[in-house]
């Protein structure tokens, strides 16, 4: 048997004698990998940290209560966004999903309002609890159309329904809205196939200048064309008080969605974009934001050229509105997980997340980091330390964290690991390209080692997907925790920005794709870059913070 070179023997001895640091086992070493502890060699940290409440970018309520469905309104007079949301409390009279709000002009400084629309204390009131809606201004009056939801109709003889559309108005939308008791609640049309017992919610109102009226969209379910499906109903009005049913506005086309929640329309340039959230009650992992496009407010609505999804399954109940400067932003919530643990199930509600949204030259929508958030996060460089590297790793630009990593077989993982970043908010930035890939490459988060027990944000070129995975590498299958479509082409640069604020992790790729995730093992843990049966280069890795 040939002896190993002395330097290689010393490397293996050092690694195995420090398994508490690197956790590489003899099986891995037997694959002829070259392990180099050319870094701090500090102990690996992969324990999830306690959840925090001091979010700046991805806000929760100041009392640590989750944020539910967002109703955004851009106030052109004040030059800021009013972001109304359902506060996830259910604690008694007036406290069943009331509307609260945030006010912001930069998406990292928020002022929290008090309750602006409370639920009714009357057990048989239509709005015994409150649901999402839309806000619009006409003259000096702000109109808030909202869902009145009564979860228990037992003993009620006043004709109240499970859900109905209600109205509150205000001249000071931060101080609160006054319920309009003279407004006739809009309930499900009777006898024409709608679900009259539930699923009539999330009103959205927009001005239809071509027809000189207002249009309201409502999420509903209907026996439509011989099948039960989610539909979006349409109403019109000339005065915002008296509304006339105009039929089904959109039925999903060739797709049968269970319920198209939180429908909204964004006008950008000469195009209109219809967005909705697929409730998908049978599979929470398939709850996505979808969109369609048209050159007319009233359709017809067509699929985009590329994917019709915005973000992944941890970004839900979204609505988008333009600002007064030619930009537009989309707002949703990133769910928490039960028990504040990565093994938990998705909760209803979580943290507010905002993306910039804009059209590509072909008219499809793209998402990017808001420029105000980017500038804030790039305020100062963060010194970060290389922990170790493994496999075929070459520094491509001296004096920078730039590496080419090559792996020639499945599970022959090459990596560079870094010590934890101890910041409340920070952003990792790099440019990634790949020459070839038979498997995957990307980023490790919460790494307990550098090849097996680690979370992964990974490019999968064979599927044109970017995925988040918590399974051990040897157990990864076709069902990730979350994914997003992204077109991947060899020898092409992809700018990657990874924002970490406590357990919310948002990835932006090429200022076109946003990918939101809840990762409790992300903050203050070991992280890095990797390739598996791939040849990829990560250029100029930097970390910055406010």
HEC per residue, 51-67? CCCCCCCCCCCCCCCCE
Query: Can you give the pLDDT at residue 52?
Result: 85
What average pLDDT is seen over the chain? 92
Q: State whether 337 and 255 are in the same domain.
A: yes
Average pLDDT over residues 486-500: 98
Query: Can you give the pLDDT at residue 23?
Result: 36
Q: State whether 232 and 181 are in the same domain.
A: yes
Is the model's pLDDT at 6 over the cut of 70? Answer: no
Domain stops at, among 327, 357, 377: 377
Is the model's pLDDT at 1 over the cut of 80? Answer: no
Distance CA 390, CA 469 (A): 21
Is the model's pLDDT at 344 over the cut of 80? Answer: yes
Is the model's pLDDT at 30 over the cut of 70? Answer: no
- Residue 501's H or E segment, with its range, is strand 494-501
CATH number at residue 240: 2.115.10.20
Q: State whether 373 and 384 are in the same domain.
A: no
For residue range 510-535, what is the model confidence (pLDDT) as tens digits? 999 999 999 999 999 999 999 999 99
- Residue 289's H or E segment, with its range, is strand 289-294
Is the model's pLDDT at 4 over the cut of 50? Answer: no
Average pLDDT over residues 107-128: 96
The answer to whether position 59 is within a domain reads no
Distance CA 261, CA 423 (A): 36
The answer to whether position 333 is within a domain reads yes
Q: State whether 361 and 400 are in the same domain.
A: no
- Using a 10 angstrom Cβ sphere, with 0-12 exposed, 13-18 middle and 19 or more buried, the burial of residue 169 is middle
Q: How many percent of the chain have pLDDT more than 70?
A: 93
Q: State whether 204 and 331 are in the same domain.
A: yes
Query: Can you give the pLDDT at residue 9?
Result: 32
Domain that holds residue 365: 67-377
Contacts of 480 (CB under 8 A, 6+ apart): 467, 468, 469
- Looking at the structure of the chain, the number of domains it has is 2
Query: Can you give the pLDDT at residue 314?
Result: 98
Q: Are 298 and 273 in contact (CB under 8 A)?
A: no
Is the model's pLDDT at 24 over the cut of 50? Answer: no
Query: Can you give the pLDDT at residue 139?
Result: 96
Average pLDDT over residues 462-471: 98
Q: State whether 404 and 293 are in the same domain.
A: no
The answer to whether position 476 is within a domain reads yes
For residue range 355-404, what is the model confidence (pLDDT) as tens digits? 999 999 999 999 999 999 999 999 999 999 999 999 999 999 999 999 99
Q: State whether 354 and 395 are in the same domain.
A: no
Is the model's pLDDT at 35 over the cut of 60? Answer: no
CATH number at residue 423: 2.60.120.560
Q: State whether 131 and 250 are in the same domain.
A: yes
Q: State whether 371 and 438 are in the same domain.
A: no
Q: State whether 305 and 360 are in the same domain.
A: yes
The answer to whether position 179 is within a domain reads yes
Q: How many percent of the chain have pLDDT more than 90?
A: 89
Q: State whether 277 and 160 are in the same domain.
A: yes
Query: Can you give the pLDDT at residue 18?
Result: 33
Domain stops at, among 377, 409, 425: 377
Distance CA 148, CA 97 (A): 10
């Amino acid at each position: 048997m040939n002896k190993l070179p002395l330097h290689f023997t010393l490397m293996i001895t050092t690694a195995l004698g420090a398994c508490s640091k690197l956790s590489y086992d003899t099986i891995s070493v037997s694959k002829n990998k070259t392990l180099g502890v050319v870094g701090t060699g500090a102990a690996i940290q992969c324990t999830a940290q306690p959840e925090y409440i001091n979010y700046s970018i991805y806000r929760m309520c100041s009392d640590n209560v989750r944020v539910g469905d967002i109703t955004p309104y851009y106030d052109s007079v004040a030059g800021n966004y009013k972001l109304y949301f359902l506060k996830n409390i259910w604690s008694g009279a007036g406290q069943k999903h009331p509307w609260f709000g945030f006010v912001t002009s930069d998406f990292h400084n928020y002022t929290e309002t008090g309750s602006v629309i409370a639920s009714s204390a009357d057990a048989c009131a239509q709005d015994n609890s409150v649901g999402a809606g839309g806000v619009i201004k006409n003259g000096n009056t702000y109109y808030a159309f909202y869902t009145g939801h009564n979860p228990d109709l037992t003993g009620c003889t006043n004709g109240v329904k499970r859900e109905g559309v209600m109205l509150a108005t205000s001249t000071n939308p931060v101080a609160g809205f006054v319920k309009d008791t003279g407004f006739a609640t809009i309930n499900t049309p009777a006898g024409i196939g709608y679900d009259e017992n539930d699923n009539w919610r999330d009103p959205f109102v927009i001005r239809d200048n071509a027809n000189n009226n207002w249009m309201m969209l409502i999420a509903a379910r209907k026996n439509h064309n011989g099948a039960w499906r989610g539909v979006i109903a349409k109403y019109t009005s000339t005065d915002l008080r008296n509304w006339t049913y105009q039929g089904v506005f959109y039925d999903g086309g060739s797709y049968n969605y269970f319920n198209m929640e939180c429908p909204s329309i964004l006008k950008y340039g000469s195009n209109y974009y219809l967005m909705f959230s697929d409730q998908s009650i049978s599979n929470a992992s398939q709850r996505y934001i979808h969109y369609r496009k048209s050159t007319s407010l009233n359709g017809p609505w067509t699929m985009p050229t590329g994917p019709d999804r915005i973000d992944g399954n941890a970004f839900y109940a979204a609505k988008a509105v333009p600002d007064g400067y030619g930009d537009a932003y989309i707002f949703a919530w990133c769910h928490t997980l039960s028990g504040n643990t990565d093994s938990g199930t998705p909760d209803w509600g979580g943290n507010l997340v905002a993306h910039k949204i804009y059209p590509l030259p072909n008219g499809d929508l793209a998402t990017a980091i808001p420029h105000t958030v980017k500038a804030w996060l790039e305020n100062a460089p963060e010194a970060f330390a290389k922990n170790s590297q493994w496999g075929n790793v070459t520094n491509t630009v001296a004096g920078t964290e730039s590496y080419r990593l090559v792996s020639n077989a499945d599970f022959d993982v090459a990596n560079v690991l870094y010590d934890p970043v101890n910041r409340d908010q920070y952003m990792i930035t790099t440019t990634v390209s790949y020459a070839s890939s038979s498997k995957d490459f990307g980023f490790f988060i919460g790494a307990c080692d550098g090849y097996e027990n680690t979370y992964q944000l990974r490019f999968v070129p064979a599927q044109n997907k970017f995925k988040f995975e918590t399974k051990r590498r040897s157990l990864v299958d076709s069902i990730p925790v979350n994914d997003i479509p992204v077109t991947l082409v060899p020898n092409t640069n992809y700018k990657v920005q990874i924002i970490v604020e406590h357990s919310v992790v948002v990835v932006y790729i090429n200022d076109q794709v946003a990918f939101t995730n809840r990762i409790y093992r992300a903050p203050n843990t070991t992280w890095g870059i990797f390739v598996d049966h791939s040849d990829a280069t990560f250029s100029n890795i930097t970390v910055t913070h406010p």
